[in-house]
Amino acid sequence: MTLEGNNALPETEPGGSSVQQDEWNAGENTPHATAKDIPPPPTSLAVRLKEDAKKMRITLLVDPESVPSLEEVTKINGSTKGAARTPLMTVIHAVLAKNGGSMTIADLVTGVLKHWNRPFPGSPYSPEEFIFVMATSSDDLRAESGM
């Protein structure tokens, strides 16, 4: 069933009385709250973590001898000329291998930004959340509680 022309029903206010469309748009009955009034969530991750992401630990699950050394990574990424860079995951592996294979996400973010020599790609995540997402997407890394 379709409603056309003058057969359309008037809109109904929450109180139950009907209002013509042009009366509704007059401004008297418009809502005063907007989506801007809703506070943002504490995280952009799909699932809230049990603890602060900065305190979680990332552990390297592969042999540290099988990843490039941090010196090699720094040498490749140190030049600001040209676009040659090692992949972010290679930098994460190298930083972890140099630091005993396990670090908190906060320390890992600092090391990765220093040795990758570029900012993280734009995303809705904080740097710690971004590293968490990268780590949980890798078979070579494990994210675990910092406790």
Least confident among 17-31, 39-53, 71-85, 133-147:
17-31
Q: Tell me the pLDDT tens digit for each residue of 19-59.
A: 455 555 555 666 566 777 777 666 666 666 666 778 889 99
pLDDT band at residue 1, thresholds of 50, 70 and 90? Answer: very low
Tokens of 23: 């009366």
How many whole angstroms separate alpha carbon 106 and alpha carbon 42?
Answer: 17
Q: Tell me the pLDDT tens digit for each residue of 4-13.
A: 555 555 555 5
Residue 143 CB neighbour total at 10 angstroms: 19
In b/e form, how buried is each residue of 23-43, taking b as 16+ CB within 10 angstroms? eeeeeeeeeeeeeeeeeeeeb
Residue 131 CB neighbour total at 10 angstroms: 27
Angle at 101 between CA 42 and CA 103, to 5 degrees: 30
